[in-house]
Amino acid sequence: MSANKSDAATPAQHAVTGTPSGSLHRPSELAPTVDVSGLIDAASGLVDRAVFTDQAVYRQELRRIFAPSWLFLAHEDQFHKPGDFFTTYMGEDPVIVSMDKQRRVHAILNSCRHRGARVCRADFGNTKNFVCSYHGWGYDLEGSLVSVPFENEYPETFRKSDWGLVEVPRVESYSGLIFGTWNPDPEPLVEALGGMAWYMDAMLDRDPEGTVVVGGVNKWVLDGNWKLAAEQFATDWYHVNMSHASALMVMSPDGKPRDEIINRPGRQFHDPKGHGAGFPVSPKARFDDQAVHKWTDYDALRARLGDARVEGPLTTGHATVFPNFSYLPVNGSIRVWHPKGPDKMEVWTWTILDKSMPDHVRESQRLYNLRTFGPSGIFEQDDGENWSEAQAVAHGFVTNNVALNYQMGIGTEKEDGTYPGVTTSLYSDAAGRSFYRRWQELMGTPAWHEGSDS
């Protein structure tokens, strides 16, 4: 349903949201379009640092990357009964994801239609209505406006049905993961995932019963452009040996440097839609906690997912679903890099587990993830430090004019007959080049609300 129904008599509607706009007309100077074609040279593996620092580029990302793309919202396990809700962001837009009385999960813009405050300030919970604490406009679980204090003071033309919360027009799930998009006519989610879905299944489809969320959502703020994190999870095993050297020593079974950690065979996949995943290839590559190892039935996994997936993307890999959803299959860590201006991001992470796992295995996996990729995890801290370091100097005039190198593995992209789609070796920038090629493509494409030739 739409929260913004209008009949033929209704005058102007806003191009982005379909909401009444009267004679409002935003001048185009407020939304200038930057030609970014010269900021990415994917063929040569060069990226202009302005993509990480420029405010106009960032504003355009909100309009042309985040508004039209499928964005991760929540896991289905967060909604069990009517009124269950979770608040998150799509780009910088606050949204409420909730289960209505028909047990349908949908998403609505968390901003009152009256003066714009959020109508839900809680992180998650269960409620009957969403009521703005400013003047008391009250909305039901579907976002319809149902209560306006002093409604009789409004003109006769005022109709509550015109003033429901703006609904995210499309919400779809893939294997328990809920995505939404502001684009009213997008390609279906599964098509947008493209070749990435096969790799995602190595985490989401291990268990016939699916996955569940354990614990709460961890959130922290980092200095750094959101793309630094997103591209790394798509393309960057390279940093592991250097950045995580101390953590790898802690994880080493005998506490000694081991060649198989450093010289790790593996593949890296990239999809033309901008998604990417890298993974060691080895039957014994999993770093899992022992309790998880003992519980896991590898023969059953091989029968279910095939040898290639069990030995590859089910191992200690990394992955990004374009633009800003990433995951680590072995840890069950899924995360969103929420953009907060060109220089800042919020990291939101969930831990998901196979539903069949008994309690002691769940607890073991939860703690394993907390130790490695929780907010103070021994790996996570290394990553955040790198992103913030790169961002800290990126605004320097000379610094900002020096192109960055994404040339690793150029020319090695191929179909290897084992892993579907185009892959390279594990140590490669190919998925990074693909990520920025897709970014460049979308940044140069008018979004649905801009018309076809603006």
Question: Smallest gap, in angstroms, from Cβ of residue 152 to other proteins?
Answer: 11
Tell me if residue 322 falls in helix, strand or coil: coil
Q: Which is nearer to other proteins, 31 or 146 (CB)?
A: 146
Judged by CB under 8 A, the residue of 131, 251, 378, 410 near other proteins is 131
Cα separation of the two ends of the chain: 29
Is residue 75 within 8 A of residue 352, CB to CB? The reply is yes
Cα 435 to Cα 433: distance, rounded to the nearest angstrom: 5
What is the sign of the dihedral through the CA atoms of 251, 253, 257 and 262?
A: negative
Question: Smallest gap, in angstroms, from Cβ of residue 142 to other proteins?
Answer: 15
Binding of residue 161 to other proteins (CB under 8 A): no
Neighbours of 202 (CB within 10 A): 24
Judged by CB under 8 A, the residue of 11, 149, 253, 451 near other proteins is 149
Binding of residue 164 to other proteins (CB under 8 A): no
Q: Which is nearer to other proteins, 127 or 175 (CB)?
A: 127
Binding of residue 143 to other proteins (CB under 8 A): no
Q: Which of these segments, 102-110, 145-153, 273-281, 380-388, binds other proteins (CB under 8 A)? A: 145-153
Q: Which is nearer to other proteins, 127 or 388 (CB)?
A: 127
Q: Six-digit token pair at 267?
A: 């593949």
Q: Six-digit token pair at 213?
A: 């969320």
Which run of H or of E encompasses 189? helix 189-193
Q: Which is nearer to other proteins, 151 or 389 (CB)?
A: 151
CA 114, distance to chain mean position in Å, is: 30
Residue count, binding to other proteins (CB under 8 A): 9
Q: Which is nearer to other proteins, 144 or 369 (CB)?
A: 144
Binding of residue 147 to other proteins (CB under 8 A): yes
Cα 307 to Cα 204: distance, rounded to the nearest angstrom: 16
Residue listed under structure tokens 């065979």: 265
Residue from 23, 3, 4, 2 nearest 12 by CA: 23
Q: Which is nearer to other proteins, 108 or 217 (CB)?
A: 108
Q: Which is nearer to other proteins, 135 or 294 (CB)?
A: 135
The backbone torsions φ and ψ at residue 218, rounded to the nearest 5 degrees and listed phi first, read -85, 140
Binding of residue 169 to other proteins (CB under 8 A): no
Cα 23 to Cα 411: distance, rounded to the nearest angstrom: 54
Binding of residue 128 to other proteins (CB under 8 A): yes
Binding of residue 265 to other proteins (CB under 8 A): no
Rounded to 5°, the CA angle 209-290-426 comes to: 80
Q: Six-digit token pair at 360?
A: 């002691």
Judged by CB under 8 A, the residue of 38, 116, 125, 136 near other proteins is 136
Question: Smallest gap, in angstroms, from Cβ of residue 151 to other proteins?
Answer: 8
Q: Which is nearer to other proteins, 83 or 446 (CB)?
A: 83
Q: Which is nearer to other proteins, 5 or 128 (CB)?
A: 128
Q: Which is nearer to other proteins, 143 or 374 (CB)?
A: 143
Q: Six-digit token pair at 71?
A: 């964005």
Question: Smallest gap, in angstroms, from Cβ of residue 165 to other proteins?
Answer: 15
Question: Smallest gap, in angstroms, from Cβ of residue 127 to other proteins?
Answer: 8
Judged by CB under 8 A, the residue of 18, 68, 138, 313 near other proteins is 138
Binding of residue 129 to other proteins (CB under 8 A): yes
Question: Smallest gap, in angstroms, from Cβ of residue 137 to other proteins?
Answer: 10
Question: Smallest gap, in angstroms, from Cβ of residue 110 to other proteins?
Answer: 18
Residues comprising the chain, all counted = 454
Beta sheet of 124-126, edge-to-edge order: 105-109, 93-99, 84-90, 124-126
Rounded (to 5) percent helix, strand, coil in the chain: 30, 25, 45
382 residue type, one letter: D
Q: Which of these segments, 47-55, 122-130, 420-428, 433-441, binds other proteins (CB under 8 A)? A: 122-130
Residue from 319, 172, 359 nearest 236 by CA: 319
Footprint on this chain of other proteins (rule: CB under 8 A): 127-129, 131, 136, 138, 146-147, 149
